Amino acid sequence: MDTDYDAIVIGGGSAGLSFARHAAGHGRKIALIERDKLGGTCVNRGCVPKKMLWTVADSLHRGTGLTRAGLLGPTPQVDMPRLCAARAAKLEDIRQSYRDKLHEAGVTLIEETAELTAPGEVTIQGQRLRAPRIVLATGGHPIKPDMPGAELACDSDEVLNWTELPRAMAIIGGGYIGCEMAAIHAAMGVRVTLVTDTERVLTEFSEKAALVGQANMQAQGIRIVTSCTPEAVRRGDDGLELVLDADSVLSVDKVVAATGRAPNLEALGDLKARVALTEKGVIRIDERFETSLPGLHAVGDCADRLPLTPVASSDGETLALQLFGDYRSPVDLRHVATSAYVLPPVAEVGQPSKEDIFEENTLSPLSAALRSDAAQDYWGLGGSEAAVTSVSLVAEGAHEAIGWAAQMLLHRPDRATIRRALGVHPSTSEEAMG
């Protein structure tokens, strides 16, 4: 094994893979070290398996509404073994494609556990590798609440690997991960109760969009308990019990903790004390993704950026350009589109607040005339008539449309200009554009 490189990246998720391939593309000698499976959280425990489950859930959700209205026959059942097999095959294909791309780029892939033992030095099973630039792309992991019996709860990683569906489940946490798990499993026939310590769910999104999303979840049959901090998880006579308070106990088959994530910092070893963290516990970085330890950079979920795959991939490429190509500034996080895969999706770009929204509407889509549990749609524009700076959407296809809205907002259009583009009829986008 070679021991000297231009850069060593620890972590083979979206950020690390992007950095390694682009840095190697500039003719640099790069090593990528991954202790687990290539692809990181997104491919193995996040976006990809979640989206595959959501695809099934979305189809079931639409069909169920038509079935209850008497327009379709019985709702089909999920064939979990076949779904799990399809998921496993897809994930392996993606991992192999990453392996092939690294090989084509000339990146040295090392599948071991690494530890930073000195500035510019990484140790693997006693062997020392050196580079003037070390890049941490170690990602993060789900954390469980500090309560008795928390070890009995599943985390989001485990949920995405279930091979059987429970009859009933309770989810702790009303962020987008908890809400996605709730919507997906409710559509697949599970009785779902979601418990959050906040006054509403989807606090990552603007208030009105989140409230419409919450109402849609409740119309789907999900029980939502707000402003409640569960006290314990314990074994019951037939499954688990989630203790809400002295008078309220939920009896379920599974409890899922969707209560946040923390960065993986084990690779820092004894140097962790020399690396500054933010109040959130992630690594503090500057505009060049450099940490408080010179020569050590951080990208992806372990760094102080949005923990989203497109951001991680973009930041990895940007860092490679900064170190070995032409300087490029990091993407402005205001231009990052986000979506919660509930049913229908909630999506936003521009980081709108309640005060920013100057025009909005909640409406019933045409499908409401046919489905007994039809969701409400919503759109909102933020900024001003002179310069639209944010878009909020709740509608079928919102997760696709919001990316195009992000492109539009780069040019800060005025409201009159937006009205000159005509949408498809009938659609929610038509309402927002008109």
- The 3 state secondary structure assigned to 305-339 is CCCCHHHHHHHHHHHHHHHHCCCCCCCCHHHCCEE
Task: Give the model's pLDDT for residue 75.
Answer: 84
Extract the annotated binding site: 51, 173-180, 260, 301
Task: Give the model's pLDDT for residue 315.
Answer: 98
Q: Are residues 131 and 157 in the same domain?
A: no
Query: Pick from 192, 184, 341, 202: which is nearest to 255 by CA?
Result: 192
Task: Give the model's pLDDT for residue 430.
Answer: 84
| 56 occurs within a structural domain | no
Average pLDDT, stretch 236-263?
A: 96
Instruction: Give the H or E element holding residue 99.
Output: helix 80-105
pTM of the complete model: 0.95
Q: Are residues 273 and 127 in the same domain?
A: yes
| 75 occurs within a structural domain | no
CB 233 within 8 A of CB 147: yes
Extract the annotated binding site for NAD(+): 173-180, 260
Residue 373 Cα distances to 61, 69, 190, 432, angstroms: 9, 9, 16, 23
Task: Give the model's pLDDT for residue 350.
Answer: 96
Task: Give the model's pLDDT for residue 217.
Answer: 97
Distance between CA 359 and CA 221 in Å, rounded? 30
Is residue 419 very low, low, confident or very high in pLDDT (cuts 50, 70, 90)? very high
pLDDT beyond 80 at 400: yes
Q: Are residues 19 and 113 in the same domain?
A: yes
Q: Are residues 204 and 219 in the same domain?
A: yes
Q: Are residues 401 and 301 in the same domain?
A: no
Q: Are residues 128 and 194 in the same domain?
A: no
| 11 occurs within a structural domain | yes
DSSP 193: E
* Catalytic residue numbers, as ranges: 425
| 137 occurs within a structural domain | yes
Q: Are residues 131 and 39 in the same domain?
A: yes
Last residue of a domain, one of 210, 234, 257: 257
Backbone angles phi and psi of 4, in degrees to 5: -125, 130
pLDDT beyond 80 at 373: no
The pair of three-digit structure tokens given for residue 302, joined into one six-digit string: 């372990």
Q: Are residues 160 and 187 in the same domain?
A: yes
pLDDT beyond 90 at 354: no
Task: Give the model's pLDDT for residue 2.
Answer: 85
Give me the helices (H) in 197-308, please.
Answer: 207-219
Average pLDDT, stretch 30-44?
A: 96
Task: Give the model's pLDDT for residue 58.
Answer: 96
Residue for token pair 């000195």: 118
Task: Give the model's pLDDT for residue 369.
Answer: 87
AA identity, residue 168: A
Q: Percent of the chain at pLDDT above 90? A: 89
CB 220 within 8 A of CB 201: no
Q: Are residues 122 and 266 in the same domain?
A: yes
Percent helix, strand and coil across the chain, each rounded to 5?
35, 25, 40
Ranking 66-80, 174-188, 213-227, 340-354 by mean pLDDT, the lowest is: 66-80
Q: Are residues 92 and 221 in the same domain?
A: no
CB 127 within 8 A of CB 115: no
The 10s digit of each residue's pLDDT in 211-245 is 999 999 999 999 999 999 999 999 999 999 999 99
pLDDT beyond 80 at 1: no
The pair of three-digit structure tokens given for residue 424, joined into one six-digit string: 């498809």
pLDDT beyond 80 at 158: yes
Distance between CA 221 and CA 190 in Å, rounded? 10
Instruction: Give the H or E element holding residue 417.
Output: helix 415-419
Query: Pick from 325, 337, 280: which is nearest to 304 by CA?
Result: 280
CB 312 within 8 A of CB 13: yes
Distance between CA 295 and CA 120 in Å, rounded? 7
Q: Are residues 294 and 354 in the same domain?
A: no
Extract the annotated binding site for FAD: 51, 301
CB 284 within 8 A of CB 292: yes
Residue 96 Cα distances to 24, 102, 103, 310, 312, angstroms: 19, 10, 11, 20, 20
Q: How many domains does the chain have?
A: 3
Taken as a whole, the chain contains a residue count of: 434
Q: Are residues 368 and 292 in the same domain?
A: no
Distance between CA 238 and CA 29 in Å, rounded? 57
- 3-class secondary-structure state, position 73: coil
Distance between CA 61 and CA 182 in Å, rounded? 13
Distance between CA 177 and CA 259 in Å, rounded? 9
Task: Give the model's pLDDT for residue 225.
Answer: 98
CATH of the domain at 12: 3.50.50.60
Task: Give the model's pLDDT for residue 59.
Answer: 94
DSSP-derived pairing of the beta strands 115-118 and 254-257: unpaired
